[in-house]
Amino acid sequence: MLRAISAAGVDVAFTSIFVAFADAWAYAPRSIAVGLFLLLGVNALVSWRLFRPIEEYLGGRRPFEDAERRITQLPVLTASRVALLALAMVGFRVTAPYLWPNETVPALPSQTLADTVALLLMLPLFYFTYIYFVISDYLGDLCGFIFERTGRNLSLFFGRYRLKLGIALLVISLAPMTGVVIDLLSYDGVKLQYEIATDVAIALMGVAVSVYFIWRSLLRPIRILSRAMSTVASGDMSVRVPVTSNDEVGELTGQFNTMVEGLREREQIRETFGRYVDESVASTILQRGGNGVLAGETREATILFTDVSGFTTIAEKIPPDQLFGALNEYLETVLAPIRAHGGVVNTFIGDGLFASFNMPLACPGHASAGIRAAIDIQRAVAGRSFGEARVPFVTRIGISTGAVIGGSIGAGQRLSFTLLGDTVNLAARLEKLNKDHGTSILVAETTRAGCGTEFVFKPLGSTAVRGRSGSVAIFTVDTL
């Protein structure tokens, strides 16, 4: 209400400037009185009635949906009422000396018809613009207040940013120039000088007051949105900003909040998905979009299988909760070297896991990367006990290199990313053959060939592998 009735204070200042230049102080009491009656008294009553639905909402007596339209339209409704009151006020001031003459008061200098019409048009237009932007600035505070306490934002947008900007430029620039041009065409001599001086003085004051609120109401929502964008760009997805304007910028802010909410949900899906599927696989699926399905593709890759020797016997001796605690700690230890060397853990298989290098993520030198990961795994678990029960786990590893088919497999809404092919089967068989050869790492001939001279391999001859018609040359690697 204080923002709305501030028009009365501006009018007192304008009237003082006019009577000072016209030397018509005798008319000041009547002019100021009618201004205070309309722009202070009547305006206060009108503003209270306009704000009443919002007050009821803030008091908990009305739902937000019922008050939202009034909140959105508050600037234009308040400004239009003030403009009508200003028109009545200017009309009274222009006609009063002729309708209710006072012989004891000196006559006012006569005005031309063009000057009178300009006054009837421009002053109400100024008050409309001034109050519109004053209440628009207040709307930003009100919306921020509501957002902080209830989290509610505007979803109705009746204002138009271009129209706001156009009216602001019109009043600030064209209106004062129009007044001066009309003076130049209507008067001459001393009368011209004081008319121009009056218009310039009033224009300077009006522009100074209006520009402050125009700048705040037009630029503040953009600054808020810009800061929020910078926050999101830095990686903070928790930001949500209040909608503080009723135009396209406010609508854009609402869409920004929706976008950030979508990004936040996407990040939560990625984090949750990454707990059950390797983060790199999840990232690949999300980046490719579509229906979340990775089409089958064939690529040369290195496959690594791990397993714990004698796990069944260990499981019989340890309570389940302690067993799972020890196994999770062990698998976390095994997982680290695989990721460090560019591998992807496709799935956990009981006490073991199945990892790949160069599928689905590119991994240059994948054969060597697989060997380095295997050596680091053995070094990490050697001589170490895991969990509350302090269980030692002996790890067996099988590695094979060759063509691998990778993609999504499943039915309906249940899908899993998996790798298929003879290379995968061979790595699994080699892991189990460690038990027969008393080794901890067994490597296929294709993997050994892919490493060149980087490692020292010990040939263990050829052996029959279940699922293959011929024998397979196998090697172990010197972990030292």
Which residues pair with residue 356 across a beta bridge?
303, 344
Q: Does pTM surpass 0.85?
A: no
201 burial type by CB count under 10 A (0-12 exposed, 13-18 middle, 19+ buried): middle
Helix (H) or strand (E) holding 393: none
Residue with tokens 């109400």: 124
Which residues have C-beta within 8 Å of that of residue 336, sequence separation ≥ 6? 380
Check: CB of residue 129 under 8 Å from CB of residue 42. no
Place 32 in a pLDDT band, splitting at 50, 70 and 90. Answer: confident
| CA angle, 423 then 427 then 431, to 5° | 170
236-249 pLDDT per residue, tens:
888 888 888 877 88
Q: For helices 64-99 and 43-58, give the axis angle rounded to 10 degrees.
A: 170
313-370 pLDDT per residue, tens:
888 888 888 898 999 999 999 999 999 999 988 888 888 899 999 988 889 999 999 9
DSSP state of 295: P
Per-residue confidence (pLDDT) for residue 334, from 0 to 100: 93
CA distance 457 to 448: 7
Task: Kindly state the greatest CA–CA separation across the chain.
Answer: 130
| CATH architecture, domain 290-477 | 2-Layer Sandwich (3.30)
Which residues have C-beta within 8 Å of that of residue 147, sequence separation ≥ 6? 153, 242, 243
Which residues have C-beta within 8 Å of that of residue 10, sequence separation ≥ 6? 127, 130, 206, 209
255 burial type by CB count under 10 A (0-12 exposed, 13-18 middle, 19+ buried): exposed
* 248 alpha carbon, distance to own chain's centre: 17
Domain boundaries, the chain: 2-233, 290-477
176-214 pLDDT per residue, tens:
676 666 666 666 666 566 566 666 666 666 666 667 777
